[in-house]
Amino acid sequence: MKPIFPLLLIALLLLGCTQKTEQKSPPNIIFIMSDDHAYQAISAYSDNLLETPNIDRIAKEGMLFSNACVTNSICAPSRATILTGKHCHLHGKIDNRFPFDTTQITFPQLFQEAGYQTAMFGKLHFGNSPKGLDEFKILPGQGNYYNPDFITNEGRVKIDGYVTDIITDLTLDWMENRRDPDQPFLLFYLHKAPHRDWLPAPRHYREFTQRTFPEPATLFDDYEGRGSAAREAEMNILLHQNWAGDSKLRPEVLDELGIVPASDWDKRAMQGKYNRFNEEQLASWNEVYDPIIEDFKKKYPSMSIEDQMRWKYQRYMQDYLGCIAAVDESVGTLLDYLDETGLDENTIVVYTSDQGFYLGEHGWFDKRFIYDESFKTPLLVRWPGSTQPGSVNNEMVQNLDFAQTFLDAAGIEAPGDMQGESFVSLLKGEDEKWDREAVYYHYYEYPSVHMVKRHYGIVTTEYKLAHFYYDVDEWELYDRKNDPMEMQNEYNNPEYADVVADLTRQLAEMRVKYLDSEEQDQKYIDMYDE
C-alpha cells in the first residue's frame, strides 16, 4: 500500500488539538492545458476576437494572471519544464526533437508516492511515456484532430471523433468511473487544440468561417527597428503559412491558379487531412469549405499582396478561433461536472497553455521568441476558499513554478533542485511574500522550422534584454512600458545605457543562479551538429 500523507496526517491531528475549525483534506488538482492558446484569444484577457465564457468562469471564480510566462516558448520543452520544475538546460529537453530524459523526476511521481491518484489525457508530446501516472491516454507526438490514435498504459488505440471532445470524454470517464472517490487526485487534461493546422469541430465550421476578425495594428510590420532574428524568422502569415495545409485550399486549386506553394509539403498536408476524415466528416467539411474555395478562385486574380495577407489572416483566425470554441465548451463541461458532483469545493482548477502564440501581430503566427505574445501565456486558477473570486495578479509567474506550487498546495515537499517558486502565496492574496523581480528565458531550436534564432534573456516588468547567438551576436533591449508592441530595439540608444549596463549584469547573475552558461550553450549547439 502507498503511504497516505503520514506527515500531513500528523500535522492535521496536532492542529486539531488546538483548533476547532474544520480541516480540509488535500486538494484535488486539475491541470488544463491547451496547445498554443494565445491569451489574446481568451475573453477574460481580451474580448475583441471571441468569447470564451467557460474559460472566463475560472477567472471570475478565481484569479487571472496577467503576466504569466514561459522559460522557452515551445511545446515539449515547456511541458518538460512544467513537469520537472527546472529550466531546459538542466532537464535537457531543449527542443521538440530530442526525447525527454525519463530519469528526471517529474512532479506526478511525487504526488503518486504521496498517495494521490494520478491520470493524464491528451497531448504530452515527449517521444516517450510519462511516469508517475496511474492511467494515461496520450496522443502520439502532435496527434491528429480527427479520429486520432492514443497511446495508453495498455497499448495503442484509435478513437473515432473529434480530438477535443474525445479528450474530454476520456477525462470525465476517468473521474466518474475509474477513480477512488476517497482519495485526492492530480489530473492532467491536455488539449491538442488549437495547435496548427487548426481543424475545428464540424459544429463550428459555419459560424467561424462567416466571421471577419479585426486585424492587429502590426499585421504589415516590416521589422525595421529590430534585429536580424525578427527579419529572418519564417513565421509570416503571407510568406510562410501554407496555402493548402493552413488556409485549406484544395491542393489542385494551387495549380489551377498558379500559386507557388509556401513549402514542399504544403499540398501533401491538406491531402493528409482529407484522408483522415470519415465520409460524414468529409461531407460536412466540403459543404462549408468548398464555397470558400470557389469564392477565393474568383477573387484571386485581382488580389493585391495586401489582399492576400488579409485573406490568409482571416482564414487563419476563422480556423484557429473555431478550434478554441470546442476547447471552451469542453472546459464548461468539466466545470459543470465538478459543480454537480460537489468536487468543485476542494479542487484547484488551472487553465493555461504551453506557451503564447502570434495571432497576426508583426505579421506572424507561431511562437518561440522572447517577445510578449509568445513569451506570455494565459493562466487562470480557481481555488475555492483560498483564492479570492475575480482577482487579478500582475506578478511574473512562470511555467517553471507549477511543480512547486502544486506540491506546496498538496503539502508535499519539493526536491531541493527544482528551480521555480511556489506561488501559493499569490493565490491566497499574500503578495507581500513574493519577491521576484525578473525571469530568465532561453530558446534553442535553431536551425529548424520557422528559423527563430537561439537567444536567452532577462525580463522585468519594465524591460526585456535578449542576446541572440549561434550564427549572430546581437543584443536587443525593449522598453516594455513605452513600447508595448516591441517595435524598437533600444540597445544602442545612449539614453538606455544605464539600463543596458544594469540588466546585462543582472542577466549574468541570473545565468549563474540557474546554472546556465556558455559551456551549456555550446553543449546544446554540438548536439545539433552530431
C-alpha–C-alpha distance, residues 248 and 266, integer Å:
10
Using CB atoms, what's the residue nearest to ligand SGN? 75
- Closest approach of Ca ion to the CB of residue 61, in Å: 26
- Closest approach of ligand SGN to the CB of residue 42, in Å: 18
- Closest approach of ligand SGN to the CB of residue 263, in Å: 8
Instruction: Say how many CA atoms lie within 13 Å of 155 toward its Cβ.
Output: 2
Which residues lie near ligand SGN (CB under 6 A)? Answer: 35-36, 74-75, 96, 125, 142, 195-197, 245, 366, 449-450
Which helix (H) or strand (E) segment holds residue 170: the answer is helix 163-177
Partner whose binding site includes residue 460, from ligand SGN, Ca ion, none (CB under 5 to 8 Å by kind): none
Partner whose binding site includes residue 96, from ligand SGN, Ca ion, none (CB under 5 to 8 Å by kind): ligand SGN
Partner whose binding site includes residue 282, from ligand SGN, Ca ion, none (CB under 5 to 8 Å by kind): none
- Closer CB to ligand SGN, 316 or 423, in the complex: 316
Q: Report residue 242 CA to chain centroid gap.
A: 22
**Residue 202: exposed, middle, or buried by beta-carbon count in 10 A (0-12, 13-18, 19+)?**
middle
C-alpha–C-alpha distance, residues 397 and 498, integer Å:
26
* H-assigned helices in 354-484: 372-375, 402-410, 424-427
Query: With binding defined as CB under 5 A, does residue 36 bind Ca ion?
Result: yes
Question: What values do phi and psi take at 455, rounded to 5?
Answer: -160, 155
- Closest approach of Ca ion to the CB of residue 357, in Å: 8
Query: With binding defined as CB under 5 A, does residue 95 bind Ca ion?
Result: no
- Closest approach of ligand SGN to the CB of residue 416, in Å: 30
486 Cβ contact partners less than 8 Å away, ≥ 6 residues apart: 226, 371, 372, 464, 478, 480
C-alpha–C-alpha distance, residues 371 and 462, integer Å:
13
Partner whose binding site includes residue 196, from ligand SGN, Ca ion, none (CB under 5 to 8 Å by kind): ligand SGN
C-alpha–C-alpha distance, residues 314 and 320, integer Å:
10
What is each CA distance from 278 to 128, 147, 271, 283, 320, in whole angstroms? 29, 8, 13, 9, 22
- Closest approach of Ca ion to the CB of residue 399, in Å: 11
Q: Which stretch binds Ca ion (CB under 5 A): 34-42, 57-65, 148-156, 370-378?
A: 34-42
Query: With binding defined as CB under 5 A, does residue 197 bind Ca ion?
Result: no
- Closer CB to ligand SGN, 8 or 451, in the complex: 451
C-alpha–C-alpha distance, residues 344 and 335, integer Å:
8
- Closest approach of ligand SGN to the CB of residue 483, in Å: 26
- Considering only 61, 221, 354, 476, the residue that binds Ca ion (CB under 5 A) is 354
- Considering only 27, 35, 241, 369, the residue that binds Ca ion (CB under 5 A) is 35
Query: With binding defined as CB under 5 A, does residue 75 bind Ca ion?
Result: yes
- What are the percentages of helix, strand and coil residues in the chain, rounded to 5? 40, 15, 45
- Closest approach of Ca ion to the CB of residue 34, in Å: 9
Using CB atoms, what's the residue nearest to Ca ion? 75
Q: Which stretch binds Ca ion (CB under 5 A): 37-45, 353-361, 436-444, 481-489?
A: 353-361
- Closer CB to Ca ion, 321 or 458, in the complex: 321
Q: How many CB atoms lie within 10 A of CB 158?
A: 9
- Closer CB to ligand SGN, 383 or 443, in the complex: 443
Q: How many helices (H) and strands (E) does the chain have?
A: 18, 14
Question: What values do phi and psi take at 232, rounded to 5?
Answer: -95, -5
Partner whose binding site includes residue 197, from ligand SGN, Ca ion, none (CB under 5 to 8 Å by kind): ligand SGN
Q: Report residue 406 CA to chain centroid gap.
A: 18
- Closest approach of ligand SGN to the CB of residue 265, in Å: 8
Partner whose binding site includes residue 366, from Ca ion, ligand SGN, none (CB under 5 to 8 Å by kind): ligand SGN
- Closer CB to ligand SGN, 174 or 364, in the complex: 364
- Closest approach of ligand SGN to the CB of residue 367, in Å: 7
Q: What is the identity of the amino acid at 67?
A: N
Sites of contact with Ca ion (CB under 5 A)? 35-36, 75, 354
